[in-house]
Each structure stands twice: as structure tokens, then as C-alpha cells.
Chain A
Amino acid sequence: MSGLTAAKEWQALSAHYQQMRPTSIAQLFHDDPARFEKFSLRLDGFCLDYSKNLLTGETVGLLLELARSRGLERLRDEMFSGALVNSTEKRPALHTALRQKNPPPEVQKTLSDMRVFSDAIRSGEWRGCGGKKITDIVNIGIGGSSLGPQLVTEALTAFHLPHLRAHFVSNVEASDLGNTLKTLSPETTVVIVVSKTFTTAETLQNAEQARAWFLERAARSDLDKHFVAISGNVDAARSFGIAANNVFPMWDWVGGRYSVWSAVGLTVMLMAGAEGFRQFLSGAAAMDDHFRSAPLERNMPVLMGLIGLWYRNFCDMPALACIPYHVGLRCLPAWLQQL
């Protein structure tokens, strides 16, 4: 924040708030019949109406001046180009590369490996240790390794196959896993262990419990058909008992909270199909293009971010509520909180 509050653009917004303070949003609608057209945006069947906010064209102009003075466009372009925007860990943040039309070769290969696995499970060609088809997927992860895939899987229930169910276990509290496993049969279950380092304490604890549950009724050699890892640490996954072929990679340049677009989305692909996953990536790519190319004053993420800053820093409204009116988006608020 240093320097930020002293900037002349910041001071201008402070002064502007004093002018805006006595105004009401309802009055702004009354004063300007074209208000909705000015303060709403559409993109591919997606609509953002931000007209019912305490702002005018002048407010937006001042916010954009602040954004420009802070180098927002340069910082945005640096993120997309793979600069080390994660400065404390000296890493790029290239989740956007996972969803671009022509992703890097390693991403393409991973997507293709995921598709082969997913198609085999969905078609029933992949058989469990008793020769039966897989009916249940258990995703074990924590934070972004759980919330992202869970949100997307639940939101896309309409696209699920009737014979396949997904379960998400992230809590280390034992009843989370226990309640899930007691309804399942090891012969028809695939467990996906999601951990970049394969050392995450909670995830490994749950994974070990799940393996013990499995080995009560199956042989260690059967793990190949039932345990999968999403991890950057192939060796650790292998010594856990997971076949090298069943390890899908995670990369340093994708943060956990932005990872649903990577192999961490395997459960999503299993449940919504490879084509569904492709469309999910392409929706995000469309937003990436919009964020990168739309002028700032017509740019959805820029405006939403700036409006949030306006309330937080100038209007003394530090809280934020996010309310999805769809049961499939039940996990959206939790996912947002971990972003």
C-alpha cells in the first residue's frame, strides 16, 4: 500500500467520494435513463450488470486513472507472458496457459493422457480388480485441490453419466473420509490423490486411510487399477503404491488455487467428459482474451476489481457478499474465499 494512498489518483478518489456520499444509487438511475447501458457488459451469453453500484462515469474514470498509474495493463501482460509475478516464490502464474487454444506441449500431452484415462473409465473399458466397472471417484485433496474440482463437478451435474458418482474428501477429521468410504466398494472405486508435493499432511493422512481401506479387501497389485495421483512428485506417488502411468503432473507455474484447469480437474473430466472439460477451458480462455484485449473501461474483471477497491478503500464498506442462486454453485463462495 506504500505510496498508493499518497498518489494523486488516490487523493482524487477520496475527494470524489465526498461528492458522491450524499447521492443514492436510486437517484443516479433517476438522473440518467441510459445508466444500465453504460454500466453493463455482455460476453457470450454471460452478463455483468454493475449499474446498481454507487458510481458514475466520473468514478469509473478516476478508478481507471488509478489503475493505469499503478501499471495494471503492464502487470496483466506480464502475468500472461510468464513473468515471475509470484515474486516471493520466483515463479510465473500461468494458469492461463492451461486453457489457451494451443497450449504448450506438456499441457497438450497431459490433456491427452487425461482424456485416455477418463474415456476408459466412462466407457467401462477400465475394469476394477473384480472385473467390474468403476462407479465411484474419490478425490482426496485440500484447498484448491479439492474446492475447484468440487465446485465445477457439482455445477455440471446435468452433464454427468448416470452410473458415475464423485466424492470429495479434504478434511483431516476422520468422519469425512469414513462417511464417504462406508457407502463404497473398493472394487468399483477409483481414488485420486491430489497433492503437488505428495507431502501435504492432511491429504496423505486421508490417502493412507483410503489405501488401508482398499487393501482390506484387495491386493497391493490391484492398486494400479484404483489409485491415481495428481502430483509433481512422481517418486513419492510411486512409493505410495501408485503406478507411474497413473500419475498426472502438477507444475510449479500453476498455483493450487488456480489449478482446476490442470490435471487437478481430472475428476471434472471424468464426470463431465473430455468434451465438457474442453468447453470449460474454452470458456475461461474467452474470459482471458476479454481481460487481455478489452479496453479497461469495458473490461469485466478490471471493473469488478476496481469497484471492490472503491468500496473497500473509499466508501468504508470492507465486506463483500457473494450469493449464487443455483445449488450447483454451492461451493462457489468457498472457492472464491480461497482465491
Chain B
Amino acid sequence: MTVNGLLQQYSEWVLEDRLRHATMVFCGYAKDMLEPIEQLLTYSFREQERQTWLDAFQTLRTNVAKLDHVADYDDEKYVHLIKQLRQEGASLRILNHIQREHQRFLDVMTKELLAPLYEPLERLASLADFDFEELQAIEVIRRFSYKPIEIIDQFDYFSESLSGTSIKAATLAQLTLLIAQLIEQLAHFNVYELDVLHKELDGEYMVSIGAMPCSLAPDVARHHVCKVFERGFYIKETNDVLREAKVMTVM
């Protein structure tokens, strides 16, 4: 493989490993959330109702556990690739650059840092003179963030179901806060939530699933979003919509 080919290969591995690592970070966070939620349920309901909701909660626990147990990255392959670069006669400038990049990569992986995803890849693309688009970063991010987003949906559905019970508003607010913190973990994928609530309907990044009478949402303007049924997400650096938000608007 040529020097440029090796650098492109390195970039592809970095992208995948960073996202695999992001999945692990996210999964760990989601698991940590389960305990406080279970406690909230235990204190919020009495006897039979408590058992009903704790049973229902097991669905969530099971689905979080289903999140891929992704193997850690293999540092050996990087060491081997850098060796190959030397053998292929890569310049000192390139070798220095790749070693600096690799140190940053190791820092992110070992310290679970929230670091930019595109920047180092763009630097490598420019160094190796390959088209950044060839990495198909959006598709790779989509593939890796799919399951975490699905888990967020399930937390939302659970929270939505709870809202119809006698649970205290303050407890529900705590749950909402926990979900918001889980969503923030998507930043490891370079993925952020679309801000759509109370915004005017826009099919560019929202999918309407219906409209409700204004009497049910008197504070929201006509054709504006009164309820987010499924959150939408986008990739921050490119503004590409990863998934449109599914919303309900006011008639």
C-alpha cells in the first residue's frame, strides 16, 4: 500500500474506533442511569402500582443490556501501520504528524475525552491528499449511533408512559433531566439533538405525524410543534440531519 493509502486506512480505523469507543461510553452512561431511575420508581409508587412499573422498567434494562458490548480498539494494528509507513518511505513530516495525531487519539480513547471527531480526520485527509468525503463519515456515524438513539427513544417512551400516572411532576422532571444527560453523551458521536419544540413546522428536519386542536396546546402558535414524539438528531460539524424529529403540531 502507498503512503497515502496507509494514511487513508489509518483515518478509516480512527473514525470507526472513535465511534466504537463512543458506543462504549454511551452504553456505560445508560447503565449508570438505570439505578437512579429504579429508585425514582420505587419511591414514587405504592405496592401493586410500584411492581407494575418496576416490571415495565425491566424492558428498558434488558434493552440497554442489548447495546453492543463492543470490543476495545486494537492498538497493535496502528503500531503496525506506522511501521509500514516508515517502510514505504514516508517523510519525516508525515511520520511526525501521524505520531502526534496518534497520541491525541490515544488520549481520547483512554481518558474518554469529548474531542472533535472531524478535525483530526480532515487534517489527515489534507496531509495524504485524499478526499475527506471518501471516508463516508456520515454513514459510519449513522451506523454507530443508530442503537444509542434507539435507546434514547425507549427512555422517552417510558417517560411518556409515566406521565399518565400519579407520579409527581418533580420526579418526572428528574427523569427528564437524566434523559437529557444521556442525550448529551451523543456528542461523542458528533451527534446533537435538533431543537424543534415550539418551532414552526419545517419538513427539512421534522416529520409531522399529526396535528392537535389548539385547545389542547393553547400556548403554542398554529403550525408550531407542540409535542416531540421522537427526537431528531444532526451531525454538528456538517449540519447533516441524521434523523428528522417526529413531531405533532397545533392545527
A and B associate: no
